Amino acid sequence: MAGILAWFWNERFWLPHNVTWADLKNTEEATFPQAEDLYLAFPLAFCIFMVRLIFERFVAKPCAIALNIQANGPQIAQPNAILEKVFTAITKHPDEKRLEGLSKQLDWDVRSIQRWFRQRCNQEKPSTLRKFCESMWRFSFSLYVFTYGVRFLKKTPWLWNTRHCWYNYPYQPLTTDLHYYYILELSFYWSLMFSQFTDIKRKDFGIMFLHHLVAIFLISFSYVNNMARVGTLVLCLHDSADALLEAAKMANYAKFQKICDLLFVMFAMVFITTRLGIFPLWVLNTTLFESWEIVGPYPSWWVFNLLLLLIQGLNCFWSYLIVKIACKAISKGKVSKDDRSDIESSSDEEDSEPPGKNPHTATTTNGTSGTNGYLLTGSCSVDD
């Protein structure tokens, strides 16, 4: 075990040439980041999760009820033993041949059977109230941590001149504010890592899981080798659009469509500007070029920059989805559904129609109307 630890904490990987871990030990004159500080994130992540449960129940839920957001879920499919057996034991998405067989067996038209399976799938969909509470928590935390980050950074020299991220590196003292900011962000991402398995599931679950992993690794990595100054720039920049997205979702769930549209436009502008403009031109410029000039490359420097480039790849992916939503909104006046949603929903009109024998009596919009948190009737779709 001692050999493994010695290999893992090899100074020639983590630190610039001629720098040792002994040089970064805490003294009476200066405090530096220590790897054991990261253990604080685990109890704090648990505390954040507990605060979230209290917040959603005693703050978010009353706000949702005040906005007339009900806890009602989607329309329940009428009981049918034959269809239920097919749904649970065979398939949730029957093909055309099976649909025709069920139609003859039940004396239902094919469209009614399709509608039943759609309603049955949607029964597992979370209520609008639950989605509102989740978004309100994320909005509140995102707004707090972004505000804290801005207040902290505006007092630092590296916000105004990124070369200060590398002057005297790695002998840069760790301040109380910087330590709190870093551990809080790390704890929040750890809480998301655990809660995402119980949160509302979406199509981009895998991408978000990767994002959380990269974020946790990047925060921990940059803290250990004292790249915390540039790390704060990355954190604050990526927090800038989150509150707007969650606010747009909340407006959507409350059916304030014009406010939702405005917030989504603001979110898209901030997201694309910060992630595709400021981040590569400002942050990646200093981590790749200014640091090379002032400090020089070393193994962990390469890993740090590769992680930042991976984050930028994810930024490009999400920007593509945002632009795709915007293009649909411009061309159709509304968006059928968020491309990251994994639940297809039918319109209220279709779902409320009783089963019948005439296949032409039912109409469908294939999920292009109805607001259930994944779909929007207006010009934006904002599920995360």
DSSP 280: I
What 3-state class would DSSP assign to 358? Answer: coil
pLDDT in tens, 246-298: 999 999 999 998 999 899 999 999 999 999 999 999 999 999 999 999 999 99
**Cα 321 → chain centroid:** 13
Q: Would 337 be classed as within a structural domain?
A: no
Q: Would 318 be classed as within a structural domain?
A: yes
Angle between helices 81-89 and 110-122 (to 10 degrees): 60
Confidence of residue 333 (pLDDT cuts 50, 70, 90): low
More confidently predicted of 152 and 70: 152
- Tokens representing 110? 């094919």
pLDDT at 148 exceeding the cut of 90: yes
Same domain as 111, residue 192: no
**Structural domain span for residue 49:** 32-66+127-332
pLDDT at 92 exceeding the cut of 60: yes
Q: Would 104 be classed as within a structural domain?
A: yes
Tell me if the pTM is above 0.85.
Answer: no
- Tokens representing 229? 């100054």
Same domain as 233, residue 109: no
Q: Would 37 be classed as within a structural domain?
A: yes
pLDDT at 356 exceeding the cut of 80: no
Same domain as 261, residue 113: no
Q: Would 342 be classed as within a structural domain?
A: no
Amino acid (1-letter code) at residue 248: A
Same domain as 234, residue 293: yes
Same domain as 195, residue 95: no
Confidence of residue 364 (pLDDT cuts 50, 70, 90): very low
Give the CATH number for residue 112.
1.10.10.60
Measured CA to CA, the distance from residue 202 to residue 192 in angstroms comes to 14
- Of 23, 6, 38, give the one whose Cα is nearest residue 218: 38
Please count the structural domains in the chain: 2
Query: How many residues would you count in the chain?
Result: 384
Q: Would 109 be classed as within a structural domain?
A: yes
Measured CA to CA, the distance from residue 79 to residue 88 in angstroms comes to 13
Residue 237 CB neighbours (<10 A): 18
Same domain as 145, residue 60: yes
Same domain as 147, residue 115: no
Of the chain, the percentage scoring pLDDT greater than 70 comes to 84
**Cα 90 → chain centroid:** 33
Same domain as 138, residue 115: no
Same domain as 180, residue 158: yes
Confidence of residue 372 (pLDDT cuts 50, 70, 90): very low
Looking at every residue in the chain, the average pLDDT score rounds to 84
pLDDT in tens, 56-87: 999 999 999 999 997 766 677 788 888 888 88
- Of 262, 238, 251, 274, give the one whose Cα is nearest residue 142: 238
pLDDT in tens, 209-239: 888 898 999 999 999 999 999 999 999 999 9
Q: Would 383 be classed as within a structural domain?
A: no
Q: Would 362 be classed as within a structural domain?
A: no
What 3-state class would DSSP assign to 373? Answer: coil
Mean pLDDT confidence for 46-50: 95
Same domain as 245, residue 184: yes
**Res 374: pLDDT:** 31
**Res 259: pLDDT:** 94
Measured CA to CA, the distance from residue 246 to residue 234 in angstroms comes to 20
Same domain as 104, residue 215: no
Measured CA to CA, the distance from residue 187 to residue 38 in angstroms comes to 9
**Res 338: pLDDT:** 47
CA distances from 34 to 4, 29, 31, 183, 193 (A): 19, 16, 9, 12, 23
Same domain as 263, residue 120: no
